[in-house]
Amino acid sequence: MTCELLDGKKLSDVVRAEVKAGVADFVAERGRAPGLDVVIVGDDPASVVYTRNKEKASNEVGMRGRLHRLPAETSEAALLELLGRLAEDVTVDGVLVQLPLPKHVTEQRVLDAVPPEKDVDGFHPVNAGLLASGRPGLVPCTPRGCMRLLALAAPGGATGLGWLGGAHAVVVGRSNIVGKPMAQLLLREHATVTIAHSRTRDLPALCRSADVIVAAVGKPSMVRGEWIRDGAVVIDVGINRVPTADGKSRLVGDVAFEEARARARAITPVPGGVGPMTIACLLENTLIAARARTP
């Protein structure tokens, strides 16, 4: 069986082009560009790179992207004060607080301070509730990107997600960021969904029953090839840095890629799979938020 690589970079370019066209229309209609403000506290190297990429990507599609870099010792009160200003600023359509935050800051309190209508990460309890109840709202970017990739994996090369109806999808990971919203989106497409995690009994057997596996547990190469049934579709959300023999490091996913590729019908690579789609869907969410907020 030939395994199809689900190219997130290629699809993200398509999504960005769609957003860029939508931004141009928005500017022509409303007289301003959608605004995305990204907040980072501290100097975690990975977070610094991620936030710069988000600012750059927003500017590339014609949005007004702005990065707020705060020192690690910034108090929770000062951070909340900034978020309050962004909440009131009519030129700001999307607000994203980069995680993780320093230990002295209460993560949930900060995320709750982002207005639901500007919560382009989709983490606010209001947006989580809207997703769970099947109502329109801002959806977390990574699960949204996974669904777009799954559309590429449709049998016979067809587009759309109708093929998921009745399929068994196993989501390995139960986070509020990926696992839970991913399950909700799969349910919307009438898949039969099982949420599993690292403590699930006989996880390999459960995975072997899946038509679709979404791995988002944060453990490098945890999902082995023998866990994959022949012809399954594998979406690997994991991004883990592991050491190499030469003293350097490389990025791997939560799935043992080469092993899984030998059995799967379609699989996302790491890097180059889900990652590019996350930023593209952040831009898409910002445009959605701007359109919803501006009469």
User: Among all residues, which ones are annotated catalytic?
Assistant: 54, 98, 121
Distances (CA, A) of 193 to 40, 184, 260: 34, 9, 21
Name the token pair of 7. Answer: 């190219």
DSSP the chain: -PPEE--HHHHHHHHHHHHHHHHHHHHHHHSS--EEEEEEES--HHHHHHHHHHHHHHHHTT-EEEEEEE-TT--HHHHHHHHHHHHH-TT--EEEEPSPPPTTS-HHHHHHTS-GGGBTT--SHHHHHHHHTT---PPPHHHHHHHHHHHHT-GGG--SSGGGTT-EEEEE---TTTHHHHHHHHHHTT-EEEEE-TT-TTHHHHHHT-SEEEE-S--TT-B-GGGSPTT-EEEE---EEEE-TTS-EEEE-SB-HHHHHTT-SEE--SSSSHHHHHHHHHHHHHHHHHHHH--
**Whole-angstrom Cα distance, residue 256 to residue 254?**
7
> φ and ψ at 85, to 5 degrees?
-65, -40
On whether the CB atoms of residues 212 and 232 are closer than 8 A, the answer is yes
**Whole-angstrom Cα distance, residue 139 to residue 182?**
10
